[in-house]
Amino acid sequence: MKAVAAQNGEINITEIAPPDLAPGMVKIKTQYSAISPGTELTMLRNSKERASYLGYSASGIVLEIGDGVEHLQPGDAVAVYGGPYVRHAQQLAVSRNLAVKLPAHVSLQDAAAVGLGAIAAQALRKAEISFGETVAVVGLGILGQITARMAFAAGCNVLACDLLSMRCETARSIQGIQAFENWQGLEQAADESTRRRGVDAVLLCAGGQHGELIDQALDLLRMGGKVIVVGDLPLTLSRKKMFAKEASLIVSRAGGPGRYDALYEQQSIDYPAGFVRWTEGRNMEAYVDLLASGRLRVDDLFRDKVALEDAAQAYARYINSPTQIMGTLIEY
């Protein structure tokens, strides 16, 4: 079967063996997979001779189920998440913990972004926000867009910021989300909307070497607020500012508890909900539930689609025209 790999800084469509089906696993035929440009372009830039397989979020149709899988049957439509089990490939084998059955009215295209949805959900959970609170989302790439929309669906007052006007316009397409192309506009809106108390949480969804972003986020916070680092940022900050606000700085790790745990992702051993309410898999379910209820829409974020054989073109667009493109799906 075919898969997308990065080698020596280039994208190749390579032939790999179909995945094996172990107990507790689900084999699917991929229909769509979502490109996560931040993570994948970094892997592309750092790739060497040995192939690095890209992708971690997809949707498809169940082909087979292993022993112990009870909530799925062959023919079911599912959303799946978590590299290296999920990648841009024609077939995938994933833990039952990482495969969510789709309601009939949830499209496979929207469901393909389930990994990004789980990451956004986990970041909001680490912020411990509740309805009526004010959240600032900094960085409006595909992950920031989904995070802002989820926060708004949860009843939060959402302010957002990105230097690119196209991204701000996309955020503002959801009535009620305010987006600004400069920090001054974000600060003014934060003062006005919180009656100068400061925002309850700042979620940093930007990437790169923006070392000053944490200090800027601290300036926006209320006393005791939280800064959640979602993107790949250097953790540099002013102790004086953090001390003055008695703020919390939290790094949100991917889709939630279970991520990178071999017992959870390979042996399919779940955490009891009474002890760990929101796992990686249950955050995936929450994303699918938001789609199903209509409280979250992402179809306008993934307007670009490419065939698997043309995947290199999609990455080239992200590199050459980053201001003109938002989300991209690979079609199988």
Which CATH number belongs to the domain containing residue 48 in this structure?
3.90.180.10
Burial 48-58 (b: 16+ CB within 10 A, else e): eeebbbbbbbb
Q: pLDDT tens digits for 107-140?
A: 999 999 999 999 999 999 999 999 999 999 999 9
* pTM of structure: 0.96
pLDDT (tens digit per residue) in 175-217? 999 999 999 999 999 999 999 999 999 999 998 777 789 999 9
Q: Is 77 left (phi over 0), alpha (psi -120 to 50) or beta?
A: beta
What CATH number is associated with residue 133?
3.40.50.720
Residues 210 and 247 in one domain: yes
pLDDT band at residue 153 under the 50/70/90 scheme: very high
Whether 212 and 144 map to the same domain: the answer is yes
- The total of structural domains in the chain comes to 2
Are 262 and 236 in the same domain?
A: no
Write out the residue range of the structural domain in which residue 150 sits. 122-251
Beta-ladder partners of 2: 15
For residues 101 and 175, membership in a common domain is answered with: no
